Amino acid sequence: MQAQQASGNGGPEPVAPLAGFTVGVTAARRADELGALLERRGATVLRAPVLRIVPLIDDAELLATTKQLLDDAPDIVVATTAIGFRGWIEAADGWGLGEALLRRLGEAELLARGPKVRGAVRAAGLTEAWSPASESMAEVLERLLEEGVDGRRVAVQLHGEPLPGFIESLRVAGARVVAVPVYRWLPPEDIAPVDRLLDAVVARSIDAVSFTSAPAAASLLDRAGQRGQLDAVLDAFRRDVLVACVGPVTALPLQAHDIPTFQPERFRLGPLVQVIARELPGRVRPLPVAGHEVEIRGQAAVVDGLLRPVPPAGMALLRALARRPGWVVSRADLLRVLPGAGRDEHAVETAMARLRSALGAPKLIQTVVKRGYRLALDPHADKYAPGAAL
């Protein structure tokens, strides 16, 4: 059944694929674009930039490296990203070195990783010597090693992310490598959003976290370690919270901790969002309850195709009941999952009343006198019966 929600004219309309789900965005650059793409598909977005980018015009290290290349010309220049290459040229213009840099680049053998980088190179009035169709840095490295780099000066434009083995392989082959540090990362000025994201991961109140750079992934895990949350965060990522990465390089720090990651075939923001929009709804198991079909997704439920936002306390109860649909869950057990309830079982009754109201179908949850509550699973739903595989 396709989920629906009430439209402005009273008729139902399809529920967005990420409606009810909360997704964390760790990106600094293009965070608003990524957040907007997720929100357009119905997600609630928790923004927590894990790193900040040093403004190019203020980057003394990039300035020093640029002057070094002007004084000692490179034989080969590897441009890895379009935005990084453009930013480097623009920063050089701001320092009054733009024309001199373009001359140096024009004299070198210029390799562009992929069509977008090739476009940026040509927009600067330059012509690339070669560009791999695969957009693979491995293919760039293979070409350089085949043609020989011994004794040659090779400038590699970085983009805030490591290039595992790339620079090391060139140096082993005899190249004199100059790393051009375009877009360096620093810790965020305000760490509070990152801490809130980590708390949400541990509490499982967030459904997915997206990463667009390897430094951001490594930094989030480092912060979790500083707060004594690393084991809890790793457990959540391995079992409950979906981890989506824009590409394989971004995923490396996470995979080093045995965290399963999901990645698009094309390493872009749009395909990244498509992966999240496919995987999160795919984890939802529809339940036949009291003649209705119920889906539990994030911080909402879908009942007979209609989205029903549920308060946090109600979601905690609903999830506890859904773990063993059809079985009675005691008030004491429900009290343990209810946030901030203390020892007052009356809090369970209050939260349960609000949950039933939010679901719009009170008979979905049955009260079992002196025992507790149960999801009124339809008796013919054998595959959901107690003891069946979840």
User: What local confidence, expressed as pLDDT, does residue 50 receive?
Assistant: 95
User: What local confidence, expressed as pLDDT, does residue 181 receive?
Assistant: 86
At CA 321, angle to CA 324 and CA 386, rounded to 5? 15
Note down pLDDT in tens along the chain; length 390 residues.
445 554 444 444 578 899 999 999 999 878 899 999 999 999 999 999 999 887 777 888 899 999 999 999 999 999 998 888 999 999 999 999 999 999 999 999 999 998 889 999 999 999 999 999 887 888 999 999 999 999 999 999 987 555 668 999 999 999 999 999 887 778 899 999 999 999 999 989 899 999 998 889 999 999 999 999 999 999 999 999 999 999 887 898 999 999 999 999 887 889 999 999 999 998 888 889 988 999 998 888 999 888 998 888 899 999 999 988 889 999 889 998 887 656 677 888 999 999 999 998 888 999 998 889 998 888 765 554 443 333
Instruction: For 201-211, give one letter per residue: b (16+ CB within 10 A) or e.
Output: bbeebbbbbbb
User: What local confidence, expressed as pLDDT, does residue 341 receive?
Assistant: 58
User: What local confidence, expressed as pLDDT, does residue 380 receive?
Assistant: 65
User: What local confidence, expressed as pLDDT, does residue 386 receive?
Assistant: 44
**What is the C-alpha to C-alpha distance for residues 253 and 171, in angstroms, rounded to an integer?**
24
Q: Which fold has domain 4-52+188-282?
A: Rossmann fold (3.40.50)
The answer to whether 185 touches 27, Cβ cutoff 8 Å, is no
CATH of 287-384, one of 1.10.10.10, 1.10.150.120, 1.20.140.10, 1.10.1740.10: 1.10.10.10
> Would you say the CATH fold of 287-384 matches that of 56-183?
no
Domain ranges of the chain: 4-52+188-282, 56-183, 287-384
Helices and strands per DSSP (H, E), number in the chain: 15, 19
The answer to whether 234 touches 253, Cβ cutoff 8 Å, is no
- Rg of the chain on CA atoms, in Å: 26
CATH class of 56-183: alpha beta
DSSP E strands, the chain: 4-6, 12-14, 22-25, 44-47, 52-53, 76-79, 109-112, 153-157, 176-180, 185-186, 208-211, 242-245, 287-289, 292-297, 300-303, 306-309, 329-330, 365-368, 372-375
**What is the C-alpha to C-alpha distance for residues 34 and 297, in angstroms, rounded to an integer?**
21
Which pTM does this prediction carry? 0.72
Strand order of the β-sheet with 76-79 is 109-112, 76-79, 153-157, 176-180
User: What local confidence, expressed as pLDDT, does residue 162 receive?
Assistant: 57
**What is the C-alpha to C-alpha distance for residues 78 and 359, in angstroms, rounded to an integer?**
57
User: What local confidence, expressed as pLDDT, does residue 370 receive?
Assistant: 85
User: What local confidence, expressed as pLDDT, does residue 13 receive?
Assistant: 59
User: What local confidence, expressed as pLDDT, does residue 185 receive?
Assistant: 79
What are the tokens at 323? 């773990």
**What is the C-alpha to C-alpha distance for residues 263 and 249, in angstroms, rounded to an integer?**
10
In angstroms, the Cα distances linking 215 to 157, 187, 251, 255, 301 are: 16, 10, 10, 13, 35
